[in-house]
């Protein structure tokens, strides 16, 4: 029971750190994702505005041209949404989710991803365990993170990110012997991840709902 409580506390702490930087203005941070008992933020209802909303962004323009219209729709529906904050938060989510998957930490994944994605991760983790393999991976650097698409469909807001990253990947057997990969040679990866949030829910969390390769 002690370990169950401890793991829950660790997962909650990681989730609190994630939401504090994902899609919210400074001074209005809430935990994303976080345990249900900590979710106290009021529902974010779509609002009607009379002017075209501004797509707020930081330096470096982390937005592809085709995503601008969708981002304006997201900002119209959620006035607290901030592009630069969301990009930084999504990078933190990318790292946290990958590390949880590599470690086989399904409990942490439960806070960060929706059920369909979690099921895919769980199946891969089970296959890995059945083969007696352990991943010894490390995210070296995220070279680029950019919003490629965004939309609001009914009550659901979706924002799609492209991550270009270098990952050092090693697969070991049960005895610790290297089966594949190398920690000294990073591999370029290009992922497309979509995060979503129910704008009419009391739950303020953005979660990973879809993954693909670029």
Which CATH number covers residue 91? 3.10.450.240
Kindly state whether residue 87 falls inside one of the protein's structural domains.
yes
Which residues does 111 contact at the CB level (< 8 Å), separation at least 6?
11, 12, 14, 15, 33, 34, 35
Residues in the chain: 214
Kindly state whether residue 91 falls inside one of the protein's structural domains.
yes
Kindly state whether residue 147 falls inside one of the protein's structural domains.
yes
Phi, psi of 15 (to 5 degrees): -65, -40
Kindly state whether residue 132 falls inside one of the protein's structural domains.
yes
Q: Give alpha helix (H) positions in the chain.
A: 2-19, 68-77, 83-103, 106-112, 115-130
Which residues does 141 contact at the CB level (< 8 Å), separation at least 6?
165, 166
Q: How many domains does the chain have?
A: 1
Question: What does the buried/exposed string (b/e) look like for 69-84 if buried means 16 or more CB atoms within 10 Å of the residue's CB?
Answer: ebbbbbbbbbebbbbb
* Tens digits of residue pLDDT in 25-40: 433 333 333 333 333 3
List 86's β-bridge partners, or say none. none
* Tens digits of residue pLDDT in 143-187: 999 999 999 999 999 999 999 999 999 999 999 999 999 888 899
Give me the domain span that covers residue 91: 61-213
Contact 45, 32 (CB under 8 A): no
Kindly state whether residue 27 falls inside one of the protein's structural domains.
no
Q: What is the mean pLDDT of residues 184-209?
A: 92
């Amino acid at each position: 029971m002690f370990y169950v409580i401890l793991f829950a506390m660790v997962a909650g702490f990681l989730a609190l750190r994630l939401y504090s930087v994902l899609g919210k203005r400074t001074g209005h941070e809430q935990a994303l994702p976080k345990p249900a008992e900590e979710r106290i933020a009021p529902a974010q209802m779509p609002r009607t505005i009379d002017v075209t909303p501004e797509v707020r962004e930081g330096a470096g323009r982390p937005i592809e041209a085709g995503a601008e219209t969708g981002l304006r729709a997201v900002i119209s529906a959620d006035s607290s949404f901030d592009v630069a904050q969301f990009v930084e938060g999504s990078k933190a989510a990318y790292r946290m989710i990958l590390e949880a998957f590599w470690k086989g930490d399904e409990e942490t994944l439960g806070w960060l991803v929706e059920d369909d994605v979690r099921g895919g991760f769980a199946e891969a983790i089970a296959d890995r365990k059945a083969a007696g393999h352990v991943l010894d991976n490390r995210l070296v650097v995220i070279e680029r993170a950019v919003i490629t698409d965004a939309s609001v469909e009914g009550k659901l807001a979706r924002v799609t990110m492209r991550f270009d990253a270098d990952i050092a990947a090693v697969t070991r057997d049960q005895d610790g012997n290297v089966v594949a990969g190398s920690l000294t040679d990073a591999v370029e990866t290009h992922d497309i991840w979509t995060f979503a949030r129910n704008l009419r829910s009391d739950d303020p969390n953005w979660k990973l709902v879809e993954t693909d390769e670029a």
